[in-house]
Chain A
Amino acid sequence: MTNAASSERTADVQEEDLRRVWANPTGWRYWTSVNNTQIGLWYGSAAFIFMLFAGVLALLVRLQLAVPDNDFLSADMFNQAFTLHGTVMMFLFAVPIFEAVAIFLLPSMLGARELPFPRLSAFGFWSFALGGVFVCGSIFFNAAPNSGWFMYPPLATDKEYSGIGADIWLLGLSFIEVASIAAAVEIIVGIMKCRAPGMRINMMPLFAWYLLIVGGMILFAFPPLIAGDILFEMERMFDWPFFDAKRGGDPLLWQHLFWIFGHPEVYIIFLPAIALMAMIVPTFAQRPIIGYSWIVLAAVGTGFLSFGLWVHHMFTTGLPQISLAFFSAASEAVAIPTGVQIFVFIATMLAGRVIFSLPMLFGAGGLAIFVIGGLTGVMVALAPFDWQAHDTYFVVAHLHYVLIGGMLFPVLAGIYYYYPLINARKLSDRLGKIAFWLMFIGFNVAFFPMHLTGLRGMPRRVFTYPAEVGWDLLNLISTVGAFIFATGVALVVIDILRPKHREPKGKMNPWNAGTLEWISEPEENWGVRSIPIIKSRYPLWDQPGLIDDINKGRFYLPDTQDGRRETLVTSVLDADPVQCLRVGGTSYLTIISALSLGGVFIALTFHWWLLTVLCGIVTLGAILIWLWTGTSEIPKRNERDIGLGVTLPLYVSGPASVGWWAMFITMAGDGTAFASLMFGYFFYWTIHPDFTAGLPGPGAGWPIVAVALFALAWLAMLLARHANANDRVWMARLSLLGSVPITLAACLAGLAGPYLHDMQPTVHVYPAIVWVISLWTVLHGLVAIIMQLYCLAGSFAGRLTASYDADLRNVMLYWHFLMITAMISFGVLGLFPEVR
């Protein structure tokens, strides 16, 4: 009896400790929080506000088109409105909202106390918020981008037409893409390495499976756009003619790079929304999902196939018909995994006893709409049909059926479903039902007629139309529908915002769901009170007493040590505990680095060079301080008792560590951007009989010297790592120090080729692409030098030793990628013109 009483007292003390360590700061310092659940909420709210803003723009567009020959908006304001509408919906709502939901839900869903890089999430959020406000704000200064959300050159490279809007688009969104890649790193590493012990990959919640795939897709989809943005901005800023046909460039390259990003993006948006359905459907069928493995098939299959579809946005650009046919075939094939998911949901509902709740209503309504969009998708995937429908309102109807049915409705289902996790209360059932029917009916009234306006030949993006062509009535109906739809959205907003503190709090897990995210308590910041051992796909259904055991602190990590925030790292396949990871706490550094990086992009937009450099220095400084003070810290003790008789190391390095994986994932994305630049090089080779246009190249000599020097530096780094591991400290320091000038020489040799051969990047696209690839590689070399010096400083400061060598091993991984980049870039630049 006394034993039980004393252990209860211990548990109370532990709970207080835990609460204090994970508490958010108060007052205005609240905004320096880095807790993932907090960041997820901010992220989601910001994305939702951007969505409402873009929705208002859409209403303006619809008002203008309600009647023929309307002058409600000027042509230019109309162009700004529809461009910003598309841009904001895609970049500031659809992608971020899923990152937000993932960051919010994943910790508790995986039974983790926290994801591995909370500060990175905060950094991503602040980048996103600043970039978003910058892009959205431009319309109030009549300076918004106005050439469509895909920014096709030559329209968008025409400075007289597009003004500063195109720069705002390119730089503002590049900045937001940084945030997306940061989120992808956090999500992938979190899912692979931070699941609760026992949660093997065959028991992972389906949401996590989807998000894992989507994270991977981001790594291969966003970098091509970043590469495209670089080329585009170089053309706008310095007149390098990448897309100027007169000087050997080609606008089609932009279309390729944009859609290699743009088509997978549709699935990056769609899969997480379907992932929400994969969590909701089993709850309301009150049974496990039927066909778990089939959902995995669908997620992975769609993820891959979605990269073989991009040219179906380019069917009318005059590409060879055989190319069109490949993409048409792949576009039809992707219907298979997409369909599988819907059949899995139907089968699960048939096998269970469905409770028709509000989330199910939104989900089912959304899927019905999505299926119609999918069917018109199969139509436009056929090249001959697309030649007729391309650039008409038929496509507008198609894409809204897909995105609103496949994304917006499921997200709303998710909001109604998960709201109790935010506020411990449900949203109003009655308001929700009215909102759903207004939205469902309004949507169809607005968008179904657009199929017909399109078939009647109305082109997209016209700001008005004459009365006699037979589009009047259909457009008027669409406008009425849009406003009905907007009323529904407004009801949802009212429901979310109305004060609820007078309502009694609901019970935990109000829908009787089976998955772990429902153990999360809205008032607590610690993710989970103790990290459970998982034995089922639906632990809350199958493991009786689980919630009680978790909340009484009977599992792992029920306490804190040294006042640090800690989470558990487990193995990829079987989720065996491998490390107790100390994660970053509250910090200003994330905000400072995000805002100063934002400053770099904003200053670039207005060509304020000095400010750009200044902000760049602040960013670099902030990131270095962040790394120095917040990562690879050597713990006081090597090991930590995490409870239940398990002791784990506090410090690991190499492939066992989360930092190594973050580097690997980042560099995979970086490598994709590089591959996109190389794609550009060979693209120019294919379109010209002589792609050098008779101009001098960098020659073979200097590029080969550059590769040799990079190889030498790489070997010196290998030696440094090896010596360090064997505790030969001075050898390691000398190698590190020696590799710095070699790397610098390699960079200079890389630039010597184009410089000494007087290659003028503004004359023709050939010198321009050679310069841009050389600069890319050299820039990576310079970053490598910073890393080398950082490791050297670490060695002198005693932060880098034989057994604590995470920094050096991560830098070595960077060097492997850099070596491949250097070999390919200088190898191709030097040798390809000789051998072709």
Chain B
Amino acid sequence: MRLIPREVETLWTLFTGPVVWALHFLACYAAAAIYCAKASEAPFSFDALRLSLFAITVVALVAILAAAWLSWRQWGFGSGDPPHDAPTRHDRLLFQGFATLLLSGLSFIAVIFVSVPLLFIEVCAR
């Protein structure tokens, strides 16, 4: 018995990585926008905000890695090469796994891209 079944019969898993990216992006944008608009009333410093967004970034990256691992497993850990174009359920699953893995990779990079400003920008605006 597995916690997450090996074969997930849905199209939705394909979008896991990008959805995590979108949530992370929204969190960063909304948190910074609200903080900067309400900076005078904020009970914590901008650095504290950056640190918590860093924490969220780590969570997002871990979530994407988890999705990547699951899709890697669905892809049979790379046991077969693309193009996965045979008219069988097996190849359809391999394709889903591989495509999801690729998207997880892109989402991972995109999350890092979006979190870079947190490293370098120390104030809302100067």
Binding site for B on A (CB under 8 A): 198, 200-203, 288, 291-294, 296-297, 300-301, 303-305, 307-308, 318-323, 325-330, 332-333, 336-337, 534-537, 572-574, 686-687
Contact = CB atoms under 8 A, between A and B. Distances in A.
A322 B18 CA distance: 22
Contact of A326 (B22, B87, B102, B114): B114
Contacts, number: 137
A288 B85 contact: yes
A537 B82 CA distance: 13
Contacts of B54: none
B125 A320 contact: yes
Contact of A336 (B38, B109, B121, B124): B109
A294 B14 CA distance: 13
Contacts of A319: 33
- Of all A-B residue pairs in the complex, the 7 with the closest CB atoms, nearest first, are A325-B117, A202-B95, A304-B18, A686-B37, A320-B36, A297-B102, A320-B124
B17 to A, nearest CB: 9
A300 B89 CA distance: 22
B115 to A, nearest CB: 8
B25 A296 contact: no
Given A320-B32, A323-B33, 20 more contacts: A202-B85, A202-B91, A293-B84, A300-B14, A304-B19, A320-B33, A320-B124, A321-B123, A321-B125, A322-B124, A323-B29, A325-B121, A329-B116, A329-B117, A330-B25, A333-B114, A535-B87, A574-B92, A686-B34, A686-B38
19 contacts: A200-B91, A201-B95, A203-B92, A291-B82, A293-B84, A297-B99, A300-B14, A303-B18, A304-B21, A305-B21, A320-B32, A322-B118, A322-B125, A325-B117, A326-B25, A327-B29, A336-B106, A686-B33, A686-B38
Contacts of A300: 14-15, 18, 99, 103
Contacts of B10: 573
A319 B66 CA distance: 35
B28 interface: yes
Contacts of A296: 99, 102
Contacts of B44: none
B54 to A, nearest CB: 13
Interface in B96-112: 96, 98-99, 102-103, 106-107, 109-110
Contacts of A198: 87
A535 B102 CA distance: 25
B104 to A, nearest CB: 10
A308 B87 contact: no
B96 A202 contact: yes
Contacts of B25: 308, 326, 330
Nearest to B30: A682
A203 B36 contact: no
B2 interface: no
B80 interface: no
Interface in B5-60: 9-11, 14-15, 18-19, 21-22, 25, 28-29, 32-34, 36-38
Contacts of B109: 333, 336
B106 A326 contact: no
Contacts of B38: 686
B113 to A, nearest CB: 4
Contact of B22 (A200, A304, A320): A304
B121 A332 contact: no
Contact of B121 (A322, A337, A534, A536): A322
